[in-house]
C-alpha cells in the first residue's frame, strides 16, 4: 500500500514528533520544483527484493531520535571519495 504525503503533512508530522512549536514557512518553489513527489520503488522491489519496512511516522521518529542522540552527527559522516574520475 502506497501512502502519499504532502510536504505540509511531512512538516506537520516532524513538528509533532519533535514536540516543536515552530512555524512552518514555505518559500517560493524552485523553477524545476515538481508539483508532486511520489517515488516509484517498483524497480528496486523487482531487482533487489526491497520493500520499505517502516512507515513514515516510525522512520521520522527514529531519525529524530538518532539526531538527538548524536548532536555532532554532521561531523561523523566521512567525506565521500569520488566514485569515478
Which of these, 68, 28, 44, lies nearest to 52 by C-alpha position? 44
Cα separation of 8 and 24, whole Å? 8
Sign of the alpha-carbon dihedral angle for 10, 58, 70, 37: negative
> Domain for residue 73, yes or no?
no
Is residue 8 in some structural domain?
yes
Q: What confidence tier does 4 reach under pLDDT thresholds 50, 70, 90?
A: confident
Q: Is residue 32 part of a domain?
A: no
Question: What pLDDT, in 10s, does the model give residues 38-69?
Answer: 888 899 999 999 988 999 999 999 999 988 88
Q: How far apart are CA 4 and CA 55, in angstroms?
A: 11
Task: Determine the pLDDT at residue 3.
Answer: 76
* Separation of CA 59 from chain center: 8
Number of domains in the chain: 1
3-state secondary structure of 49: coil
In a domain, 29, yes or no: no
On whether residue 82 sits in a domain, the answer given is no
pTM comes to 0.69
Structural domain includes residue 12: yes
Does 77 fall in a domain? no
Is the model's pLDDT at 85 over the cut of 70? no
Average pLDDT of the chain, as a whole number: 84
Domain of residue 3 covers 1-20+38-67
Amino acid at each position: 500500500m502506497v501512502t502519499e504525503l504532502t510536504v505540509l503533512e511531512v512538516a506537520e508530522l516532524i513538528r509533532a514528533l519533535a514536540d516543536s512549536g515552530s512555524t512552518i514557512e514555505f518559500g517560493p518553489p524552485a523553477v524545476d520544483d515538481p508539483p508532486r513527489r511520489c517515488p516509484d520503488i517498483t524497480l528496486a522491489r523487482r531487482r533487489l527484493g526491497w520493500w520499505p519496512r517502516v512507515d513514515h511516522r516510525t522512520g521520522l521518529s527514529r531519525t529524530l531520535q538518532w539526531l538527538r542522540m548524536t548532536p555532532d552527527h554532521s561531523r561523523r559522516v566521512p567525506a565521500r571519495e569520488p566514485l569515478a574520475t
